[in-house]
Amino acid sequence: MKKYRLLTPGPTAIPENVLAKFAEPIIHHRTSLFEVQFKKVQDNLQWLFQTKQPVLTLTATGTGAMDATVTNLFSPGDEVITVNGGKFGERWTKICRAYGVKAHEIVVDRGAAVDAVAIEKLLSANPHTKAVLFQASETSTGTLMPIQKIVELCHKKNVLSICDGITAVGIFNVPMDDWGLDVLITGSQKALMLPPGLAFISLSERAYKAAESSKLPKFYFNLIKERDSQAKQQTAWTPAISLVTGAVESLQMLRDQGREALFAAHEKMAEATRNAARALGLELFSSAPSPVLTTVKVPASFSVDQGKKITKIMQEKYGVIITGGQDELAGKILRFSHFGYTDLFDIVNGISALELTLHELGYQVEFGTGVGAVLKTYQ
């Protein structure tokens, strides 16, 4: 028997009381029973997104909401800027190009945050640009983007700011209305501590205006139709009902904790993990580390194959599941996530398994060094 512990960037662990909701009898969605539950979700989502705008619930993963953003806001031939700081930024470019939207792409060095000056230059060179699409936190590299600077720039140039906050909302502060974001997105399997299957998206009034003139074909993801339907606590199509009832529970847990406490807890876990990595002699990969996950380079003496073995041994021998790098970063970095239903003791478990694994692979480890650094951070 093995006990598995998820320290992955989604899905994250699900609290026991949320899991228990999935064992309840299903309700029908075209009933007042559903509407009462859905209203609670809507209210708590507005609290989480820090917006007065409706936050729409879509039955999809996060990519569905990214796709919906492009098809609902743009027309064929429209020009946008996409920030490709990793796999998820690259996804914005791919979605735009798939629909005939012309993406001027900024490719950022892996592990670096985008320089707002580069965006400004590209905006000046391409005056017909309608929007900047970016990540709040690029999960493939563990990098925090300069969100507020990008949004300010968008306002200055009168273009839409479209933020993939899939690994940001509920983890660190991204106040949609205060900062003036036009689109903010997240997904259920991240900070919301639910299984994958729901995406959440909020649009500013400016973004809805753009939606009204969008000419790209759309059917399943029609955000204006969803807005009108969800104003009556109904979704346009059959929603993932069980996930919605689970969200009642998980969002209430977040609300009970409070936003500031939530963000502070994530900051602390990130600081502890970074300290543990440094204490173990591991180099941080990102030059702008995100509070969502800590990315570290595998020891310089390791081959790519050895690097890949770290996550394999941690999972197979110790039941601790972290993620490695994707694509060109496979076998070169480790991604240790600390968000959602995660606490100090999960970090301690994860670092313990990392110490044992590195030792097994021939890296010199004084047992307890990383764990000690975690505990000292919390002391």
Contact set for ligand PLP, span 187-226 (CB under 6 A): 187, 196
**Interaction of residue 85 with ligand PLP, rule CB under 6 A:** no
User: Position of tokens 């690097």?
Assistant: 307
**Interaction of residue 139 with ligand PLP, rule CB under 6 A:** yes
Q: What is the 3-state secondary structure (H, E, C) of the chain?
A: CCCCEECCCCCCCCCHHHHHHCCCCCCCCCCHHHHHHHHHHHHHHHHHHCCCCCEEEEECCHHHHHHHHHHHHCCCCCEEEEEECCHHHHHHHHHHHHCCCEEEEEECCCCCCCCHHHHHHHHHHCCCEEEEEEECEECCCCEECCHHHHHHHHHHCCCEEEEECCCCCCCCCCCHHHHCCCEEEEECCCCCCCCCCEEEEEECHHHHHHHHHCCCCCCCCCHHHHHHHHCCCCCCCCCCHHHHHHHHHHHHHHHHHCHHHHHHHHHHHHHHHHHHHHHCCCCECCCCECCCEEEEECCCCCCHHHHHHHHHHHHHHHCEECEECCHHHCCCEEEEECCCCCCHHHHHHHHHHHHHHHHHCCCCCCCCHHHHHHHHHHC
Task: Point out which span in 18-26, 55-63, 248-256, 328-336 binds ligand PLP (CB under 6 A).
Answer: 55-63
Task: Point out which span in 56-64, 206-214, 221-229, 271-279 binds ligand PLP (CB under 6 A).
Answer: 56-64
Between residues 140 and 377, which has the closer beta carbon with respect to ligand PLP?
A: 140
Strand partners, 161: 132
Task: Point out which span in 18-26, 77-85, 160-168, 208-216 binds ligand PLP (CB under 6 A).
Answer: 160-168
Indicate the residue type of 289: P
Among 71, 129, 135, 204, binds ligand PLP (CB under 6 A): 135
Among 67, 90, 105, 164, binds ligand PLP (CB under 6 A): 164
* Min separation Cβ 206 and ligand PLP, Å: 22
**Interaction of residue 342 with ligand PLP, rule CB under 6 A:** no
**Interaction of residue 290 with ligand PLP, rule CB under 6 A:** no
* Min separation Cβ 135 and ligand PLP, Å: 5
Among 49, 74, 88, 318, binds ligand PLP (CB under 6 A): 88
**Interaction of residue 44 with ligand PLP, rule CB under 6 A:** no
Interatomic CA distance for residues 18 and 260, integer angstroms: 22
Between residues 14 and 371, which has the closer beta carbon with respect to ligand PLP?
A: 14
**Interaction of residue 170 with ligand PLP, rule CB under 6 A:** no
Among 8, 9, 179, 202, binds ligand PLP (CB under 6 A): 9
Give residue number: closest CB to ligand PLP: 62
Interatomic CA distance for residues 254 and 356, integer angstroms: 33
**Interaction of residue 59 with ligand PLP, rule CB under 6 A:** no
Among 53, 167, 204, 290, binds ligand PLP (CB under 6 A): 167
**Interaction of residue 63 with ligand PLP, rule CB under 6 A:** yes
Among 5, 7, 10, 270, binds ligand PLP (CB under 6 A): 10
Task: Point out which span in 24-32, 164-172, 224-232, 365-373 binds ligand PLP (CB under 6 A).
Answer: 164-172
User: Position of tokens 């050895």?
Assistant: 306
Residue 205 corresponds to which tokens in the numbers above?
């009034």
* Min separation Cβ 63 and ligand PLP, Å: 3
Between residues 62 and 331, which has the closer beta carbon with respect to ligand PLP?
A: 62
Which residues lie near ligand PLP (CB under 6 A)? 9-10, 61-63, 88, 135, 139, 164, 166-167, 187, 196
